[in-house]
Amino acid sequence: MKKKLLALVLTVAMTIIGVKQVTTGPSTFDKLLELAVAADVAYDLEEEWAPKTQAELHNFIIAVLYQFAEEGFIGDPHYPTGLRSMEYGVYRSSISGTYSPTEDVVGLNIRYFTDPSWMLQDWLATLIHELVHAQGFMNEAQTETLAQETIASMANLGFPGMRKVLLDNIRRDAIGAAYYIARYGGTFSSNTSEAGGLFTRCIGCPSKWNTDEAKMAQLQVVRESVYTPEELRRSDARLRYWNTGDRGNNYPYVLDAYVVRPMAGVTEAACREGNLLGEQYVRIIRRLNEGRPVGPYKMDDFAYVLRDLGWSC
């Protein structure tokens, strides 16, 4: 890694534009790049952890479910009927996990456990995302936002490995959101009401996307600094995959639903009184807990980590 070099480049760059920063402040794009670097430095210091036995897995799921309740996202936790590793066929490289409301089954991509090219990846964040779905939340952006705050709260409480998972998400999502801005001219927006998800089709949409080559170059410097050579090769391969054929039309929407809007939601909440999510979250759909007061959706644990990493409001 070339972190020292990057830190120097950032310091020099910030010194050069220092006067401008006083008047306008850094752009969201620049703040995302700085966040990715800061999260990566902290990520490298953390130990990994994952359940190794059925009992550990069960205890982990219980801890997650009760954390949802303690966060005020739900009333009584719902333990799904089934948890399986699954073959996703032609979607084997697109889908990390699923939740079937009809069967009440959480699925995790079997490649996490059988495919050497996936086994180094963390599946705990995917499991937590699907467990949020199992509580009745269906909107992808909202589900991912609540998953992130849950991971942050478990990390702050000292649950093993959760800080590593959280910081990995933050560095990757900050880079993903920066890519969305640089590659597509996308807006860093937290409005989740229309965020589609994996199978959103965008007929004729790509013509409106504009690539900012200067931002792409800036992003590339950060990607090469944050990712190890192995991580960079895999990230590049994934970008080639997502930019191929029909997936190329869908990728902006995948990023939008799973990365940009959750990231914008938590960073805005971090800068808001009480760290509450914005108005759009009144649209959160709850299958369980009907008629029972839940919320407010407070992102205070994620805000705590962002502050720690130097996110400026």
When the beta carbons of 139 and 218 are compared against Zn ion, the nearer one is 139
Least Å from the CB of residue 105 to Zn ion: 14
Per the listing, tokens 């807990």 go with 289
Rounded to whole angstroms, how far apart are CA atoms 10 and 16?
A: 10
Q: For Zn ion, give the closer residue by CB, 48 or 104.
A: 104
- Comparison of 140 and 149: residue with beta carbon closer to Zn ion: 140
DSSP string, 5-39: HHHHHHHHHHHHTHHHHHHH---HHHHHHHHHHHH
| Smaller CB separation from Zn ion, 128 or 162 | 128
What mask, x for binding Zn ion by CB under 5 A, covers residues 111 to 150? -----------------------------x----------
Distance in angstroms between the alpha carbons of the first and the last residue of the chain:
29
Q: Judged by CB under 5 A, how many residues of this single chain contact Zn ion? A: 1
Residue number with CB closer to Zn ion (132 or 177)? 132
Query: Between residues 43 and 258, which has the closer beta carbon with respect to Zn ion?
Result: 258
Neighbours of 292 (CB within 10 A): 10
- Distance of CA 216 to CAs 8, 168, 219, 226, Å? 20, 21, 5, 15
Beta carbon of residue 30, minimum distance to Zn ion (angstroms, whole number): 30
Q: Which residue is nearest to Zn ion (CB)?
A: 140
User: In the bound complex, what is the minimum distance in angstroms from residue 95's beta carbon to Zn ion?
Assistant: 9
21 close to 14: Cβ distance less than 8 angstroms: yes
Tokens of 251: 């990728």
Distance in Å, CB of 308 to Zn ion, minimum:
27
Nearest to 266 by CA among 140, 142, 133: 142
Q: Find the binding residues for Zn ion in span 43-62 (CB under 5 A).
A: none
The minimum distance between CB 277 and Zn ion, in angstroms, equals: 17
Q: For residue 97, list its beta bridge partners.
A: 108
Q: How far is the CB of 247 from Zn ion (least distance, A)?
A: 17
Which residue ranges make up the site for Zn ion (CB under 5 A)?
140
